Structure 1
Amino acid sequence: MRDNMGDHSHGGPNDTGTVAKAGPGPLDTFQDPGLPPHRKRLADTDPRAEKRAERQVAWLFVISIIGTLSFFIAYFVIGRTDSISALRTQNMLLGLGTAFAMLGIGVGIVHWAKTLMPDHEVSESRHEIRTEADRQDAAKIIGDVIEETGIKRRPLIRNTIIGAIALAPIPAIFMFRDLDRTGATAGQIVDRLRYTMWDKGVKLVRDPSGTPIKASDVQIGSTFHVIPEGLSETEHPLNEKAKAVVLLMRLDPGKMNISPGREDWHYNGIVAYSKICTHVGCPVALYEQQTHHLLCPCHQSTFDLTQECKVIFGPAGHALPQLPITVDSEGFLVAQSDFTEPVGPSYWERG
């Protein structure tokens, strides 16, 4: 019996018409179906609905203005005391004010586009790019767009959106400017970032108890969260702590890879490094005793303690700054100096 499994002369896809093939003549072209019929909205046919939509859009822009003004009231009036309740109220109003300021503008523009701006579809033929004629056409298109928005003939919407957009960026300006209220110059601000409370002879004390640390208290594998002595007596202890906090650990000196010039920065394997991650400033607080790795919990930057906290993984830009330490006559750990480089993330004048 003849095997016809490989024979496609009868019933194959090329003979049954299931596969379309181009004929010898020109290919047929598809007809342009045209645009779908335009469905008018209620505001297109009812003048009262149009005015109502216009008032709704204006009210949304007014809500944005009220949100911005609420931000100003919370920022400049509330929270001028040290009361926790006042600060909570201020933070709540700052958040709500910013939210309504942005939400009013966004929802107002969307509602304006959906109810009042022309929504008919248009079709334009593609043509070759020309010079002067194209510029004139572009200018005409821009003019048509402005005309279609109806902003010229809708003064209520125009005035409220101008007010909302003009006020919305001002809170951000005040917030950035208020990062420093002392009137310091840019150089003075950079110095504040560069220098900390650490200095020659300043004791290393436990955070938060303030107990001084003896070298004999630090065992291999142990970790201490450390601040400079006298931190609580400063005018702005939290600001100073944000720059000066360090991690204190002890390693086997034989496992340490020490750079030239840093030979005396440690004491019998006891080392101190800035706790502030060099990526975005999160506190580095996880120490793997077996691998001698320090980890930042925010973005998983990893620093190798045996290589002077060199970055071995993650987005951090450079190693953690090391604090040179020694011991005093009583055996307490003290700093030899301040950090020799700025702590924390990179900034515009670092280095």
Structure 2
Amino acid sequence: MTDNNHDIEQPDERVPRRVIGTPSPAAGTSLLGTDEQSAAGVSDVPGVTLKDEQTARKGERIAALCFTVTLIAGIAFIVSYVVFQVGDLETTRTSTLALGGTLTLALLAMAAGMVVWVRLVMPKYNLVQERHAMASDSGTRETVAETFLQGANESGFVKRPLLRRTLLLAAAPLGLAPLVLLRDLGPSYSNFPEKLRHTVWGEKTKDGKNRRLVVEGTGAPIRAADFNSPGGILSVVPEGYEHDLNALAKATLILIKFRPEEIKSGTNLNWTHDGIVAYSKICTHVGCPAALYEQTTHHILCPCHQSTFDAADGAKVVFGPAARPLPQLPIAVDNEGYLVATADFSVPPGPSFWERGDAEAEVRKNGGHA
């Protein structure tokens, strides 16, 4: 049909019309609208070998079981974190075993499930990568050699022996520097645990007497009769080591005066004198100075991570991340009435280190004596 100005083309009924929009994929096709690749089609890909269906189903069940175990162990880890709190060696050991065991099981089961999935479900791939010859041609090698020699000659490294020799001599100490730095990280392993396990409180003075407690900063010895105000607290160091930072890092004390009725069963009364108790000032968490004291509750607070210890009850942990009480030092008075240490700590002071567990087990075996 035509008019005088335009030609109107009628649609050809024999040509199918285009449908606007995306139709739903036909049955047997993927969501992308393409045919699902059949197992036979995958097996035809060079280098790809499918697992048989029986093996794949077996692997699927085993992997699913492993992932289920991971789920249960992960939930158990969270529950253990909430339920098992720390406060002493036994509860800390229980918490560590529960948290470590459940987390290990979760990670191990997850890894096992992934391995089973790859080995029993996924196809086996045999791929070949084409590579060219690794060696350069002779012309390139000659060019590189000429460029290297030219640079060496221009730098004067070959021509000027004084410059070359002094450079090599200067570099030699720098090569040895890492060895010196590694050696300076700490004492040798043979005596490292012993250095951490003992302090100078266990040593006698030159005249064979017990070492006195002196006030930190002034070095004044402490007469027990002068330290008679309940609730009083002093920061104390060993006599003769007032300026030895290595010794003070382990041996610094806090001295607290109690009324007799305030001292609880956790405190070793045989290691006190007239209500005066000496505890390590080194926090058992990470070694910060635990020197804040609240008289009404008898609590010692570490300002770094808020570990709190009950000074009236053997400095047991009542709050915070510390897992051990502050070690108590056995004290007495000498013939002049000054406070002295009668022995070293029964357990190592400060935070934990390897092999300390064996030492504490030996202490418990010997009834509390180092």
Q: Normalising to structure 2: TM-score of the pair?
A: 0.48
1:70-129, CA deviations, whole angstroms, 9 ceiling, x for partnerless residues? xxxxxxxxxxxxxxxxxxxxxxxxxxxxxxxxxxxxxxxxxxxxxxxxxxxxxxxxxx72
Please give the alpha-carbon distance, in whole angstroms, between the structure 1 residues aligned to 2:33 and 2:287.
Answer: 62
2:233 aligns with 223
- Which one of 179, 195, 198 corresponds to residue 185 of structure 2? 179
> 1:180, CA displacement in angstroms?
3.1
Shift of 1:171: 7.9
User: 1:346 Cα deviation (Å)?
Assistant: 0.6
**Matching residue's letter, 1:270:** I
**SS at structure 1 position matched to 2:235:** strand
Write the letter of the residue equivalent to 2:201. W
**Structure 1 residue corresponding to 2:213, chosen from 188, 192, 204:** 204
Return 5+ residue gaps in structure 2 as ranges.
1-22, 35-120, 132-175, 205-209, 360-370
Once residues 352 and 30 of structure 2 are traced to their aligned partners in structure 1, the CA distance between those partners, rounded to angstroms, is: 64
Q: Which amino acid aligns with 2:124?
A: T
Matched residues in 2 for 1:172 and 1:323: separation? 40
Please tell me the residue identity of whatever aligns with 2:231: G
What one-letter code is carried by the residue in structure 2 that aligns with 1:188? N
Instruction: Name the SS for the 2:309 alignment partner.
Output: strand
1:249 matches 2:256: yes
C-alpha distance in structure 1 between counterparts of 2:294 and 2:310, whole Å = 10
Q: CA deviation at 1:28?
A: 9.5
Residue of structure 1 in register with 2:329 after alignment: 323
Give the Å deviation of 1:253: 2.2
Q: How far has the Cα of 1:176 moved from its partner? A: 4.2
1:342 to 348, 352, 368: 348
Matched residue, 1:131: 124
1:144-189 residue CA offsets vs partner (Å, 9 max, x unmatched): xxxxxxxxxxxxxxxxxxxxxxxxxx988754431236xx4x2312
Computing the radius of gyration over CA atoms, which structure comes out larger, 1 or 2?
2
In structure 1, the partner of 2:57 is: none
Residue aligned with 2:195, SS: helix
User: Can you list the C-alpha shifts for 1:263-311, whole angstroms capped at 9, x where unaligned?
Assistant: 3100121100000011111111111111111111111111111220111
Question: Which residue of the partner structure matches residue 288 of structure 1?
Answer: 294
Identity of aligned residues (%): 46
In 2, the alpha carbon distance for the partners of 1:252 and 1:288 equals 15
Post-superposition Cα deviations, 1:213-250, rounded to whole Å, max 9, x if no partner, equal 11122221111000011114xxx711011111000001
TM-superposed deviation, 1:345: 0.6
Structure 1 residue 204: Cα displacement: 0.6
**Alpha-carbon distance, 1:131 to partner:** 2.6
> What are the ranges of 5 or more consecutive residues in structure 1 without an aligned counterpart?
1-21, 33-127, 144-169
Tell me: CA distance 1:313–1:192, structure 2 relative to 1, closer, same or farther (3 Å): same
The 5-angstrom pairing of residues 1-351 of structure 1 reads: 29=31, 129-133=122-126, 136=127, 175-180=181-186, 184=188, 186-199=189-202, 201-218=210-227, 219-232=229-242, 237-259=244-266, 262-350=268-356, 351=359
Q: Is the 8 A contact 1:272 1:324 kept in 2?
A: yes
RMSD: 3.8
